[in-house]
Structure 1
């Protein structure tokens, strides 16, 4: 049973700050490397950390569980400290017992700082070079074990043996030999030989062993994340100071985008690990799926970030006097331990491609979110299933995008106004209920509804008359809006737009052209115009209007998109709209526009990853029943299993970013940079998913809808073609990377 109360985010932040301050005083960067070679130094720090109460983490989950162990490990990684404090704390969590059902005395001793325990999995490690140990008929331990952390500073060893069981031995006993085995130019790993050593045997269940193994790898990923983040922060600071060609290198786009990618990767790694730790502490049955996804992701992304960090430092990063090399080494050592990413990918492949169909585990969205998820699911089963849904799916892509009858039916539920304030007729529901709604809509492949960005804009910037006229239409599902932003010479650079609106009495006359407009067939266009041609800076002269699409002077010329949809060039020739159609202040459109785009990115990041998650589950379902060219089941193909597992980790990162943005919104914050990161990651994840799916499916995967033999009705290849739009629209990912680098990381422009 999970504890009824768990430490909160504020308590974890205090814990993190406390550990960081302690390590800055007792394990400073300047001496971290040489001190790690001195057993007496390591022993002293071990005892000091125990005196701080950190060795007791996990013994009472109400005071600290895996969610508290993870940030402590991150801080050890930041400090370049490889002391294996997690071994004792994870044994606290695993709670092994003697055959009489008692806690072994050693655990109490290690919590008090009187013993220092290191953990080894032996033959159960997952790495073929880890060695093994066995218990003879007299209860004595024999064997040789490799990659044991700081065995020279420990007092006791806990090693997994056949049974499974945990054997506890005193490393100071006669018959124990400890030999240093430098790895990647570091000290701290040892080979331990055991020759007839007395042992205390504690039985372990298979579930306990699996949980202990997963927790250990997750803790090491947390330490690697701390190391990678510390090096990354140093690289960001260096990029802001180091000058080349008369400018800080951090002002160069290549460096900015490299570091933006690093920020996004680290965000995903940190969030997936924290999410897995939370699932464990809440007692979720599927927490190990989250843990394996976090470990699979960390194994690739943290090493890539470490490489790119070294590239940013250039030659200065070669020097062992610099901090960066120690963090690079630690990242690689930590994510490889105990089978590393390979072990995690095997577990994920078993989960998603096993004979028993399994999907991505659902998030706990809280009582309100979980209940609303079921309510939406039931409504869709009634209103979007059977013949009704089948008839819609028989349409081509363009016709499937919107369904007025469905929109009006949904409008009668009031859910189009889920997040709206009650004064506008909304339901004022929280962000997690909104996530539940998006999740179920994507799973049901329901057409989009409403105009969330325009509604939010009107609620903040609209006049009372605009709010009274337009919001009820949107709420009832009776109105759909397009966005008229981009122009031939103003794509990402919207401040360069030329479409003009000139005042003429009580009206404005609009002339210009908009391109790439997707919802040109809607009832209204939210149109960005220039009302001050001489404004300086240029973005100060923009204004926004709501323009009914049946207004005289509008000409629409459509084009078919590469993904089977359509967009249009829309020409505005002498289009007259009343001055009351302006949204916000005169020349104040930039403020409204930027806010709207940020809002849309927040919606898009979550929506895209939900689309990918749904397509991933469909692909796994297909692969479970498919055979390869050799006649063997595709689910057993090593390449298929590896690629599916990699995707599972990446999708979990995207889902966690989505949840992170929701948490910040629920806290009353506006997650501009996090929304940009979510949009960048999710859009490119959709592309990667499509490419991987085609690799696995081969030519069958390229068959479009309507083709005989098309896999999943041709949706895989169509989604890949569609993915390009999500990367480019609403501010290209390159622009978003610059935003993250300059405004999120503080790099110079």
Structure 2
């Protein structure tokens, strides 16, 4: 079967698989043109039927050019006069071995041209140092008009661009695999270069870009194959993001290889050339971003599409939206919004109210009183709470640890309180000498009769005002390796010996330095086994990172819509080409973040999201939040820098506060530098 020939099997997902493999193999087979020819000739006509049969039988080989309908004006065009074509077309792939040419001459018609006819001149073109493209000159060559298939010219062009991106993705992915293997073997300064943090972080960035491109490409294919009207939007997002991202990857791969990758006998240069040629074709990212900007701003504009989260997820989203409209709106929400930010981190009354719905235990197993909702339903809920600007609730990480490692007595005592919204648990992990390196923590817990005696200091604790602290302490100072001697405790925050020193944060929130001086907690307050707290701690963090990435990108998506509305209210800004380009870029990046979030949700169906994928989502989304915060101030100007409760502050200082808050997400639960090392070691197998 020729790719794209069977109407019942003309799956974009299948097309992308083939194109990716061609890219991986650096194979010059003209499948892109064959695929477009099959789709374009799918509309019934005698000429189309005959040529399609010839293509399937191998008697015809097609070259395809969009000509005057290519966003790149340098491609050229042809004109028809009495069924004869004249003109020139450049950058035509595989035209040297083709028997026929297809080129649109209108929104609904193609010119079918026999390249063996008189008046055709073919000149090979070297591009990016590689052969494979041709310049065609036509001088009064006979042409047959055939109708374009039902997909339509605009959609055909999007399919063509996505297929090229898939080929570039395959090439970049193969190059990354080669670089990772090289980094494991290449010795410098007495060790593999893959152990150097600079190389690990470089290749981790590449893996994040590769994964982001893969997710959005295949999401686009999924939408097209099921007939979703939003698929062209995601195709544009894929082009806006994946083009620049895959080129970044190809450059970093060359940097990793150094001089060895610069030699033409090496495989890497072929992938470098493939990536650059395929990502600039058909107007590249610039054309896609112009289309995205038009959607966002022209004729009143359209916001980010709402994801289909399945029947249950969609129903819960609407149910939660209605609940918020009745319980978190009007004077109540206005009074909350009027508070300083430090007083808007938590609202005890709201937590109790929503505790009555059972939604705090949305994803908990039913045996613990939860609703056992799927990850997609949990995303629906998080998204709705974010859009409703509701305060935080629950203690998801601690409750998850209790369900996984807690005793029946602990579960019976603490989980119902969390579920009802009447108790909050903070996390006592970080210390002055143990931030991301939690194995270095020094807070100690010593057995004393029926109690544990805890001494030490915790810093940067955000939920210091909660009823309990989920505390990591060392119970064996001589353990090898160091993380083997850590245990997890539930510490009541009203226990004697606790001193809290709150501090204001740069983002107007608060955290605290907390000192534990001979604090007694009963033996039964250990979560998990003594000296096996590392398993509890890392399990809880892995779960949190999978959630945090999704939560961050949904925050960015909500802020993006608020910014879009402000720009629409000021036509001089929404018409500014620089602003339109930047907003289109962010639209594409938000979809990458949402796709990484959705991937974590899919993985969570079978258990906890693997740490490297939670890390990818967290790194990408937190740094997106930073970039967005910076850009919002650029677009809106000095007025956007006015802080809350200042006269004239835009949205009570929303945008400048978002920027200051974004720094916390980059550092929280393991800095992004640590996360990049985790990605490099777990996803790419680089040495520790």
What TM-score comes out, normalization by structure 2 length? 0.98
The residue aligned with 1:319 is 263
Q: Does 1:59 align with 2:6?
A: yes
The residue aligned with 1:582 is 526
* Aligned counterpart for 1:127 among listed residues 69, 72, 87: 72
Deviation at 1:101, TM superposition (A): 9.4
Contact 2:65–2:103 (CA<8 Å) still a contact in 1?
Answer: yes
1:286-334 alpha-carbon deviations (Å, 9 max, x no partner): 1111010001101211111111100000000110000001111110100
Aligned partners of 2:14, 2:135: CA distance in 1, in Å?
Answer: 30
SS in structure 2 opposite 1:193?
strand
* Aligned counterpart for 2:485 among listed residues 541, 549, 574: 541
The residue aligned with 1:703 is 642
Aligned partners of 2:525, 2:372: CA distance in 1, in Å?
Answer: 27
Structure 1 residues 189 and 103, CA, compared in 2 at 3 Å: closer, same or farther? closer
* Aligned counterpart for 1:112 among listed residues 57, 60, 69: 57
SS in structure 1 opposite 2:447?
strand
Q: For 1:3-152, list aligned pairs within 5 A.
A: 53=1, 55-57=2-4, 59-61=6-8, 63-93=9-39, 96-97=42-43, 104-136=49-81, 138-152=82-96
Aligned partners of 1:707, 1:669: CA distance in 2, in Å?
Answer: 44
1:525-546 alpha-carbon deviations (Å, 9 max, x no partner): 0011011111111111111111
Aligned partners of 2:234, 2:148: CA distance in 1, in Å?
Answer: 23
Aligned partners of 1:115, 1:668: CA distance in 2, in Å?
Answer: 51
Contact 1:303–1:332 (CA<8 Å) still a contact in 2?
Answer: yes
Of residues 190-199 and 575-584 in structure 1, the stretch that sits farther from structure 2 once superposed is 190-199
The residue aligned with 2:541 is 597
The residue aligned with 2:583 is 644
Deviation at 1:58, TM superposition (A): 5.6
Contact 2:84–2:141 (CA<8 Å) still a contact in 1?
Answer: yes
Q: For 1:270-669, list aligned pairs within 5 A.
A: 270-627=214-571, 633-668=572-607
Aligned partners of 2:41, 2:428: CA distance in 1, in Å?
Answer: 61
* Aligned counterpart for 1:253 among listed residues 191, 197, 201: 197
Aligned partners of 1:420, 1:102: CA distance in 2, in Å?
Answer: 61
Aligned partners of 1:730, 1:68: CA distance in 2, in Å?
Answer: 39
* Aligned counterpart for 1:688 among listed residues 627, 632, 637: 627
Return 5+ residue gaps in structure 1 as ranges.
Answer: 1-52, 628-632
Report the RMSD for the aligned CA atoms in angstroms.
1.6
Aligned partners of 2:473, 2:575: CA distance in 1, in Å?
Answer: 57
Q: For 1:708-719, list aligned pairs within 5 A.
A: 708-719=647-658
Aligned partners of 2:308, 2:46: CA distance in 1, in Å?
Answer: 33
Aligned partners of 1:450, 1:636: CA distance in 2, in Å?
Answer: 43
Contact 1:117–1:154 (CA<8 Å) still a contact in 2?
Answer: yes
Structure 1 residues 106 and 418, CA, compared in 2 at 3 Å: closer, same or farther? same
Aligned partners of 1:351, 1:242: CA distance in 2, in Å?
Answer: 48
1:362-419 alpha-carbon deviations (Å, 9 max, x no partner): 2221222222222222222222222222221111111111111111121111111111
The alignment covers a number of residue pairs equal to 688
Deviation at 1:352, TM superposition (A): 1.1
Structure 1 residues 163 and 549, CA, compared in 2 at 3 Å: closer, same or farther? closer
The residue aligned with 1:732 is 671
Aligned partners of 1:102, 1:385: CA distance in 2, in Å?
Answer: 63
Of residues 264-273 and 694-703 in structure 1, the stretch that sits farther from structure 2 once superposed is 694-703
Aligned partners of 2:12, 2:356: CA distance in 1, in Å?
Answer: 44
Structure 1 residues 188 and 686, CA, compared in 2 at 3 Å: closer, same or farther? same
The residue aligned with 1:11 is none
Contact 2:165–2:278 (CA<8 Å) still a contact in 1?
Answer: yes
1:649-673 alpha-carbon deviations (Å, 9 max, x no partner): 1111111100111111124463221
Q: Does 1:673 align with 2:673?
A: no
Aligned partners of 1:67, 1:351: CA distance in 2, in Å?
Answer: 25
Structure 1 residues 639 and 207, CA, compared in 2 at 3 Å: closer, same or farther? farther
1:5-27 alpha-carbon deviations (Å, 9 max, x no partner): xxxxxxxxxxxxxxxxxxxxxxx
SS in structure 1 opposite 2:130?
coil
Structure 1 residues 462 and 274, CA, compared in 2 at 3 Å: closer, same or farther? same
SS in structure 1 opposite 2:681?
helix
Deviation at 1:71, TM superposition (A): 1.3
Aligned partners of 2:46, 2:98: CA distance in 1, in Å?
Answer: 26
Deviation at 1:109, TM superposition (A): 2.4
Aligned partners of 1:388, 1:166: CA distance in 2, in Å?
Answer: 61
Deviation at 1:164, TM superposition (A): 4.5
Aligned partners of 2:600, 2:464: CA distance in 1, in Å?
Answer: 30
SS in structure 1 opposite 2:453?
strand
Contact 2:33–2:93 (CA<8 Å) still a contact in 1?
Answer: no
Deviation at 1:345, TM superposition (A): 0.6
The residue aligned with 2:158 is 214
Aligned partners of 1:94, 1:369: CA distance in 2, in Å?
Answer: 37
SS in structure 1 opposite 2:615?
helix
SS in structure 2 opposite 1:196?
strand
SS in structure 2 opposite 1:134?
strand
